[in-house]
Amino acid sequence: AAKQAELVELQQQLATLESRKAEEQQLLQTLLRAAHMGADRNFLKTLLNREQSGEAARQLHYAERFSRYQLAQIERFQLTLAELEDLGQSLTASLSALNDQQTELVQRSAELEASKLAREQALASLRSAIEDRSAEMVQLEISQAELQLLIAEITRAMEGVSSFADVPPIADSRGELQAPVTAQLVHGFGSRYGGGSLVRQGMSYAPNPGSQVRAIHPGQVVFADWLRGSGLLVVLDHGNGYMSLYGHNEALAVDIGTWVDAGEVLATSGINSSDPGVGLYFEIRRNGEPQNPAAWLD
């Protein structure tokens, strides 16, 4: 705003000087014409004639004053031209500075617009991520509920079955059981899904496709099929209300009703389709309630 006001003032000064220049130029032209038209060719004769010496002195005095006036007007005109040149330079400098400010303003405006667009895109991505996460949490809750229903159905179906007399109690091997797969643990029991309130009821291992999934203890296969949220799932009943679950397998190696020993191959490990960073999912339950597998494994 200050530069704009300065530019307006300089333009006004320039207009004033241009007007003065035109007036002074016209005055000089008038003086030159008058000097030319009024020139007396007999002035020298008058000057040398003794009888007209008074008239000659008067004319000489007039010519001298007229010449001084002409010189003064010429000097004034030259000063006006110099002021015009200085003012023109100042005006050019002000215009250049104003253009620089305008360029900077346009650039900053473009940067602010780009920043605003980036913020809007980030917010849109965040909203989308929140919506996707919410949908994912809903699916996980449904999957957990379906798995819980399956365990409840198996528990009811196995009530009164006393065919585990030859199977050593799994409770006697607490803290000594071998891990179901050779892979790194990525999610422990009770950890939360995606920072939400839903917690894991078992543990998840890193993907190791094709690796063997083995039974942690002798038992009977009571489920070997696909279940939403768990993929290809194997459930072993170890008696006395204990079960172990092995999910997200690539292929199954046992059928329902099969008896297996500890270390026997149940399946080959796969990858969680909804979370590629997770392979085998493993649970231990007692009377349908999830137990922390870390307390049971060696």
**pLDDT tens track for 223-235:** 999 998 899 999 9
Per-residue pLDDT at 42 exceeds 70 = no
- Going by pLDDT thresholds of 50, 70 and 90, the confidence category of residue 148 is confident
Residue ranges in the chain assigned as alpha helix (H): 2-37, 43-48, 53-157
pTM: 0.56
Per-residue pLDDT at 217 exceeds 90 = yes
Per-residue pLDDT at 41 exceeds 50 = no
Q: What is the pLDDT of residue 40?
A: 47
More confident position, 20 or 253:
253
Nearest alpha carbon to residue 228 among 273, 284, 291: 273
Q: What is the pLDDT of residue 86?
A: 78
Q: How many CA atoms lie within 13 A of 254 on its CB side?
A: 27
Is domain 167-295 classified as CATH 3.20.20.10?
no
Task: Give the chain's mean pLDDT.
Answer: 79
Average pLDDT over residues 102-115: 78
**Contact by Cβ (8 Å): 146, 227:** yes
Per-residue pLDDT at 24 exceeds 80 = no
Give me the amino acid identity at 46.
T
